[in-house]
């Protein structure tokens, strides 16, 4: 069922500038451009239907939605909104804006405090209304709870593997190409209190060849030791 257009204010009133925020998280999507273009098209249509004649597209390319702090384009857009340089922020989905309740509510509070609005197309909601603010707060909290449940489920999987003696990188997942003898040697060195730097120097001096480079580095030794030691907290590739 098609969504109803967001209501426009009185056409005699100045709507100000609407910022249309688009984001993709992977380089593949950046190169493809399809997701950004689709978001831009939908946001322009929604802003125009809401009565905005001044619009500006903000693109955030190859940035994860995990935290607002890691998205400079959004940070700058929020600062402009707070200063009154724009009056609305349009996004296609709530997770384009924020993936944690804390981040999302901080943006909502800024909008409420500084008098600008957030419009989310997937929910057909506008935070300039009390109803919109209430609903998106509840939905954001539910989304975070769902992610927490998934994380707990992954921990249960890892716990089951530990109890059955299965090791990520040995019995499951990508297998390390470093021989068992070399891994045992490195673990013995660590047990003797040798630093990662000393171990790498020792391996290079003894002519022990790593698998992916010409020589050993402290970071190489560190990764090998911790990939095996902390396998119980590793998550399979893919999100």
Q: What is the 3-state secondary structure (H, E, C) of 83-135?
A: CCCCCEEEECCHHHHCCCHHHHHHHHHHHHHHCCEEEECCCCEECCCHHHHHH
> CA–CA separation, 213 vs 216, rounded Å?
7
Is residue 199 within 8 A of residue 221, CB to CB? The reply is yes
**Is 100 among the catalytic positions?**
no
Is residue 89 within 8 A of residue 75, CB to CB? The reply is no
The structure tokens 């804390």 sit at: 102
- What is the number of alpha carbons within 13 Å of residue 115 lying toward its C-beta? 6
> CA–CA separation, 58 vs 97, rounded Å?
12
Selecting among 11, 12, 14, 25, the annotated active-site residue is 25
* Sign of the C-alpha dihedral computed for residues 153, 158, 162 and 165 taken in this order: positive
- For residue 69, the 8-state DSSP code is G
Distances (CA, A) of 220 to 32, 51, 131, 202, 226: 34, 57, 54, 13, 10
Q: Which residues are annotated as catalytic?
A: 25
């Amino acid at each position: 069922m098609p969504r109803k257009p967001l209501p426009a204010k009185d056409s005699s009133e100045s709507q100000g500038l609407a910022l249309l925020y688009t984001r993709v998280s992977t380089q593949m999507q950046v190169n493809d451009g399809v997701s950004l273009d689709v978001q831009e098209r939908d946001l322009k249509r929604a802003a125009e239907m809401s009565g905005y004649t001044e619009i500006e597209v903000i693109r955030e390319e190859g940035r994860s939605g995990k935290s607002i702090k890691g998205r400079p384009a959004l940070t700058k857009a929020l600062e402009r909104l707070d200063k009154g340089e724009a009056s609305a922020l349009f996004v296609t989905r709530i997770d384009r804006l924020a993936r944690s309740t804390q981040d999302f509510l901080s943006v909502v509070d800024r909008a409420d405090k500084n008098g600008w609005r957030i419009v989310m197309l997937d929910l057909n909601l506008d935070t300039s209304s009390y109803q919109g603010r209430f609903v998106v707060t509840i939905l954001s909290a539910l989304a975070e709870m769902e992610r927490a449940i998934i994380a707990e489920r992954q921990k249960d999987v890892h716990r089951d593997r530990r109890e059955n003696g299965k090791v990520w990188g040995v019995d499951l997942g990508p297998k390390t190409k470093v021989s068992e003898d070399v891994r045992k040697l490195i673990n013995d060195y660590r047990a003797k209190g040798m630093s990662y730097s000393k171990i790498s120097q020792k391996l290079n001096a003894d002519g022990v060849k790593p698998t992916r480079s010409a020589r050993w580095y402290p970071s190489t030794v560190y990764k090998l030791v911790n990939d095996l030691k902390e396998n119980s907290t590793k998550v399979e590739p893919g999100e």
